[in-house]
Amino acid sequence: MNCEEVERMLSAYLDEELVAEEYKSLKKHLMRCSRCQKELNKLRAIKSLMRDLDNGFNFNQDFKFDWEAVEKKARTIKKREAILFSLAAALIVMVLFFVVFQEQAQWETEVMHPEILVNLHESLSGNQLDIPFKQETNFIGTLELVSGGR
Amino acid sequence: MDKAEVQVWYQGLTLEEEKLWFEERVKSCERGLLRFAYHLSGNMDKARDLVQEALLRAYQYRHSYNASYSFESWMSTILLNVHRQRFKKEKFFKIFRPGKEREDGEETEVWDFLESKEEGPEERTLKREVLGFLREAIEKLPPQMKEVIVLCDVMNYSYEEASEIIGCPLGTVRSRLHRARRKVKNLVEESYGEDFLSVWG
């Protein structure tokens, strides 16, 4: 084992998390290598200081599992979900309404416009029969003609 | 995991009994959870909030708990996930308010550390300073290294427990922990000199 390999395993050695074989050969190396021994001591110091971080804080905080808060939050989440669901549903209805309304408006502009109806009527009657155009009475007849009597 | 291994704990219990069962388990580990949350977030207010949210989530998904595992580990995993999500969110919002590292009214001091009677006032002051420095050093670590060093070194969990909580193999815990310790060691040496740790040890 060289120093580089040992260096990578020092932490696990310190935590006694090495398998027996690794532990044995690492220990052997440490007995004759002062550089790795020094490195191990530094890591040991870090580990010990880290533990002091936990020991050093006062955790006698007045913390209690607050059922009321948990239930309140659960209710809020449910309420929020219901509101979001309603909003989404309203949005879908609005979009559908808008699409249908647009279709209707487009149909009225393209087909129901008096000028277009007059043109349609004239072109269908061949402009020669001199049939007077009355929007009210001829409208349905013209549509029937256009749609093939459906 | 094998389906047969799953131990269902809630079978035959009423909702009230389930609530009671959950509350008892929580009581046994709430201090541990609070410590874990504190070391992850570095702030007691955030820690309380984190634990409360983890408890809420755990209660909502209580039926997914497998009683053949430790309840505290299960809760710690949930807490860690909540922390990861919050961390990502905070990181994202930090883009919009650069330079604001600490939030208003943020409380940082919960020091009441156990001082040895053998230590003189100078030693105690130095220790306090070094521990404060270590806190900051942990904050500077990448999230994955921070999680491992908090679990294994600060909280003294075994590699196996840490791997169960984090959800990664033992070898990964081992290498992350080593890299984290080396990084902290380098930071200490940069600030306090190369021989500081040898003398301290």
**Residues near A18 by Cβ (< 8 Å), separated by ≥ 6?**
A9, A12, A26
Which among A38, A49, A74 has the least Cβ separation from residue B131? A49
What is the full DSSP assignment across B96-157?
A: TSTT--S-TT-----B-----TTS-HHHHHHHHHHHHHHHHHHHHS-HHHHHHHIIIIIS--
Phi, psi of A111 (to 5 degrees): -110, -40
Q: B111 and B128 in contact (C-beta within 8 Å)?
A: yes
pLDDT, tens only, B45-100 = 888 889 988 988 898 888 888 888 889 999 999 999 999 999 888 888 777 766 55
Domains of chain B: residue spans and CATH: 3-94 (1.10.1740.10), 121-200 (1.10.10.10)
Binary contact (B127, A12; C-beta < 8 A)? no
CA A97, A102, A106: angle at the middle one, nearest 5?
Answer: 155
Closest to B150 measured CA to CA, from B51, B35, B26, B5: B35
Closest chain B residue to the Cα of A60, Cα to Cα: B31
Check whether A63 has a pLDDT greater than 50: yes
pLDDT, tens only, A121-145 = 777 766 655 555 555 555 566 666 6
Question: Which residue, chain included where needed, has tokens 């090495």?
Answer: A18
Binary contact (A63, B34; C-beta < 8 A)? yes
Closest to B63 measured CA to CA, from B23, B4, B22: B22
What's the pTM value of the predicted model, to 2 decimals?
Answer: 0.71
CA distance A35 to chain B (A): 12
Sign of CA dihedral A5, A10, A13, A15: negative
- Secondary structure of residue A62 in the 3-state scheme: coil
Q: What is the ipTM of this complex?
A: 0.79
Count CB atoms within 10 A of the CB of residue B9. Answer: 17
Closest chain B residue to the Cα of A17, Cα to Cα: B159
d(CA A9, CA A3): 10
Closest to A15 measured CA to CA, from B130, B166, B128, B148: B148
d(CA A107, CA A104): 5
B124-138, B145-159, B181-195: which is most confident: B145-159
